Amino acid sequence: MPVKTAVVTGASGFIGTNIMLRLLREDVRVVAVCHRNRPQYSDGRVTWVQADLSKPEECDSVFRKAAEVSGNGEIDYLVMTAAYVGGAEKLLNSPMAFVTDTTVLNLYVLQSAYRFRVHKTLYVSSGMGYAESRQPLVEERAMEGEPYEKYYFGGWSRRYIEVVCRMYAEKIKDPMDISVIRIDNVYGPYDSFRWEKSHVAAALIRKVVERQDPVEVWGDGKDYKDFIFVEDLAEGAVLALEHAKGFNLYNIASGRNVTVDELLQVILRADGYEDARIVYNADRPTMIPYKVTSIGKARRELGFNPQTTLEEGIRRTIRWYREQL
């Protein structure tokens, strides 16, 4: 069978790196796009391209390079992970960056992908797009209500890009084959552990590995979340590339929920930090207090079945992080 070619935007980031690694296991040639961040992985099957995707001419140059790498001018996959990212503090202090930067670059990527006739596109969106609910979040209600107030900027920008994906998939001449996955609370190897960018799992892992005393938890520790190991997420992304047809939206999560306190206890046990003192800081920013994500649709239609327990995923993440120190 001919070797397939994929473009991965944001390939030097946490999500992009892991999806790229999963594609390489399928012997896919990867044209990996980075901007300011340095690549975290490379081998002979990866062609790195540095580009500012907010400039349409540079987007075109990426796909031109991919067509050349493919050998037959065909680009099989596009995985869109490039976005402006950050933790709770950055989301509150620089909210418009989540709108302007993320929206502009992804619109230009889609424009180029349509021009170069990419066979299958996957947009990696965010659970920020959901409204607050005490019920499990299902794809059929993806556009109901407004995003949770603290996710308002990022949530609406992701919703808008999803709508543009649907335009290209259903409302335009010669439509594209596009699917969307919504993800949330991802952790694992290649994550950012820098304070200004880290999310809750990475931040707590760093505090425990550094043996901070006390270990500070933002908020009251009762926030209820679904934490998915990044390799399970990457598996879900590849399943969507291979099996989804036409425009579809899928939640990719673990299907299991814990509080931040419970997550911290798993981290403490995994790294052997006994008798740690824990303090709670209600003055630090926190996000949505309750969120349960349904993965029933992805199970039924894609065969998605996350394999990694929280305990195993945390052990593997701590081991990777310690190796980087």
Per residue in 253-269, pLDDT (tens digit) is 999 999 999 999 999 99
140: DSSP letter: G
Say whether pLDDT at 135 is over 90.
Answer: yes
Backbone angles phi, psi at 273, to 5 degrees: -90, 90
Higher-confidence position of 94 and 118: 118
Token digits of residue 10: 């944001």
Tokens 């299991």 belong to: 256
Confirm if 119 and 77 have CB atoms less than 8 A apart: yes
Token digits of residue 102: 């993320």
* Long-range pairs of 92-97 with CB within 8 A, sequence gap ≥ 24: 92/150, 92/285, 95/152, 95/153, 95/154, 96/153
Please give the pLDDT value at position 97.
72
Axis crossing angle, helix 310-324 with helix 260-271, rounded to the nearest 10: 60
Measured CA to CA, the distance from residue 295 to residue 193 in angstroms comes to 28
Please give the pLDDT value at position 99.
85
Domain ranges of the chain: 5-186+227-255, 187-226+257-292+308-324
- pTM of the predicted model as reported, rounded to 2 decimal places: 0.95
Confidence grade of residue 90 (pLDDT, cut at 50, 70, 90): low
Higher-confidence position of 138 and 37: 138
Q: How many CA atoms lie within 13 A of 18 on its CB side?
A: 21
Say whether pLDDT at 276 is over 80.
Answer: yes
Confidence grade of residue 103 (pLDDT, cut at 50, 70, 90): very high
Q: From residue 145, how far is each of 15, 166, 250 by CA, in Å? A: 28, 19, 18
Give the DSSP H/E element, type plus range, for residue 263.
Answer: helix 260-271
Please give the pLDDT value at position 237.
98
Mean pLDDT of the region 107-113: 98
* CB contact set of 128 (below 8 Å; sequence gap of 6+): 147, 148, 151, 154, 155, 158, 184
- CATH assignment, 187-226+257-292+308-324: 3.90.25.10
Tokens 């990475």 belong to: 202
Residue 71 burial (CB < 10 Å; 0-12/13-18/19+)? exposed
Helix and strand numbers (H, E) in the chain are: 10, 13
Say whether pLDDT at 283 is over 90.
Answer: no
Would you give the distance in Å from CA 308 to the centre of its chain? 17
Q: Coil, helix or strand for 99? A: helix
The fold of the 5-186+227-255 domain, in CATH, is Rossmann fold (3.40.50)
